[in-house]
Structures are given as structure tokens and as C-alpha cells.
């Protein structure tokens, strides 16, 4: 293969991957990149979850652990109902729900891996405050898994790596300074123009779907505004949205308030 054809090969492969590896986010209908097989994602998810639990102080047989489990199963039932209504119920066949509370008062965090592997850290409980607050967080994190954001993030990284390889081949005969500047520009452009905006898109999608899950599970979604205001006070709101994977708290709260009327349609006490 001559040099020109070799350089054209990678962009063509990238385009082929983009058009052959797309799926749709439930409810929002956004088309997303999906280049990684879900079975591989699930294997990695289970392995990572087991590794985290084995290295953590998992709390069992306490009131907090019981509430987490109660909320978890209600959100799980709402998620399965939601996906069936979206015509994507078959995607829930690979979900094997687990809810674990990890003792770490300094970690203000919670997450849900693909397949419904959920972890809450004790550090987030004071901000959740009660069962409804836990449901707000749970609904948001589960929504990341329903929307297959993990798969999309991995796919984006693969695509960026492919672009980096193509760039290296295209610049192999250029001076080192030219190569260095090109790599810097490419990396910055990929972060600001591609990866970070998609991360913020993921957060807004998880907020939107999460409010619906919270409401369908019988929890008042309006409590989400109070939760994010508490989180805003904790963070100091010093981040710059343009260079952040998460939306600025004020923008997020405003967006949640705009989403609220739709979510309240599903609210069943």
C-alpha cells in the first residue's frame, strides 16, 4: 500500500466505524457511538465491581444499608418498566442488580456500572439526607447505565486513539516541532471539542432520565433541586463548565427545573 493510500486508510476506517457502530439513547433519542460489544463491557464491569468491593469496607445489616437496598430495588423496577415502555426491554436481560454501601466518609460519590452494579459511599449520605435524596442519586446513576454512557465513552476513546494513529502516520516525515504542535492541538481539540462536551451531554441525559425513574419509583423528583443545591454548596461552584465534564451547578439546577414538569407526570406517591 503506498503512502497516500495508507494515510487515507485510517480516516475511512474511522468513518466506517462511526456509521456501523451507532445506537440510540432511550427517551432522548440521541444517536450515540457504540464500538464496543456490550458483552465485553459487562465482563469488565463485573470484574471491576468485585475488585472495588474486595478492597472496600462494605457495610451490611445496618439501617442505611437497608434503605439503600429498598431504594435500589424500587429504582430497578422503575428502570425495567421505563425501558420496556421505550421498546428496549431486551437490554435489561443483562442487568443483575447489586446495591452496596461502602464506608468512606470522605468520598462524596455514587456510581452504577453497566449491568446494574451500584455503589454508594457514606460520604454522600449527608447530602442525600433521606430516602428520597438517595433515590435522586440512584436514579441519576442508573440512568448512565441505561443510556450506555460507559460504552459510548470507551468508543470515543477508541476513536480518538485511531485519529492519533492516523495523525502520527501523516506527520512522520515532518520536523519534530511540527509534530509536537500538531499532537498538542489534536489532544486539546479532542478534549474540548469532543470528549468533554459529550460528558456534559451524558450528565444532562442522566438528570433527565433519572428524574423520571425517581418519579416512577414513587419518590418526589422535586427533591433533586434541593440535593444539587446542597452539592453546589459543598463544591463551592468553582468549576468552569467549558473545561469540565460536569455542568456548572447553577446551569444544572436550571436545566433540572425545566425538566421537572415532564418528570412530575410520572410521579406516583
* Residues marked as catalytic: 141
Sign of CA dihedral 66, 71, 72, 78: positive
DSSP letter string over 20-39? HSEEE-TTT--EEE--S-HH
* Residue 186 burial by Cβ neighbours in a 10 Å radius (0-12, 13-18, 19+): middle
Q: What is the separation of C-alpha 61 from the centre of its chain, rounded to a whole number of angstroms? A: 29
CA distances from 56 to 52, 59, 100 (A): 6, 9, 10
* Residue 81 burial by Cβ neighbours in a 10 Å radius (0-12, 13-18, 19+): middle
Q: Any residues with CB less than 8 A from the CB of 21 and at least 6 apart, and which?
A: 33, 34, 35, 155
Q: Say which DSSP state 92 is in.
A: G
Cβ proximity of 34 and 148 under 8 Å? yes
Sign of CA dihedral 249, 250, 251, 253: positive
End-to-end CA distance of the chain: 66
Dist. CA 138–CA 227, nearest whole Å: 12
Amino acid at each position: 500500500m503506498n503512502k497516500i493510500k495508507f494515510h487515507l486508510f485510517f480516516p475511512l476506517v474511522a468513518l466506517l466505524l462511526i456509521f456501523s457502530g451507532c445506537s440510540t439513547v432511550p427517551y432522548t433519542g440521541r444517536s450515540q457511538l457504540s464500538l464496543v460489544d456490550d458483552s465485553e463491557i459487562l465482563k469488565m464491569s463485573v470484574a471491576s465491581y468485585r475488585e472495588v468491593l474486595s478492597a472496600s469496607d462494605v457495610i451490611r445489616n445496618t439501617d442505611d444499608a437497608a434503605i439503600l437496598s429498598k431504594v435500589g430495588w424500587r429504582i430497578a423496577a422503575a428502570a425495567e418498566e421505563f425501558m420496556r415502555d421505550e421498546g428496549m426491554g431486551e437490554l435489561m436481560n443483562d442487568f443483575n442488580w447489586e446495591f452496596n454501601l461502602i464506608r468512606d466518609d470522605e468520598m462524596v460519590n455514587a456510581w452504577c456500572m453497566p449491568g446494574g452494579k451500584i455503589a454508594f459511599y457514606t460520604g454522600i449520605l449527608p447530602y442525600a439526607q433521606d430516602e428520597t435524596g438517595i433515590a435522586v442519586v440512584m436514579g441519576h446513576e442508573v440512568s448512565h447505565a441505561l443510556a450506555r454512557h460507559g460504552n459510548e465513552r470507551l468508543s470515543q476513546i477508541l476513536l480518538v486513539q485511531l485519529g492519533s494513529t492516523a495523525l502520527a502516520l501523516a506527520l512522520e516525515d515532518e520536523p519534530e516541532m511540527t509534530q509536537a504542535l500538531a499532537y498538542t492541538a489534536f489532544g486539546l481539540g479532542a478534549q474540548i471539542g469532543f470528549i468533554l462536551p459529550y460528558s456534559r451531554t451524558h450528565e444532562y441525559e442522566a438528570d433527565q432520565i433519572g428524574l423520571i425513574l425517581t418519579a416512577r419509583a414513587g419518590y418526589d423528583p422535586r427533591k433533586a433541586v434541593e440535593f444539587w443545591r446542597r452539592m453546589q454548596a459543598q463544591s463551592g461552584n468553582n468549576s468552569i463548565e467549558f473545561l469540565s465534564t460536569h455542568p456548572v451547578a447553577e446551569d444544572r439546577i436550571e436545566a433540572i427545573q425545566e425538566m421537572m414538569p415532564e418528570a412530575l407526570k410520572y410521579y406516583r406517591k
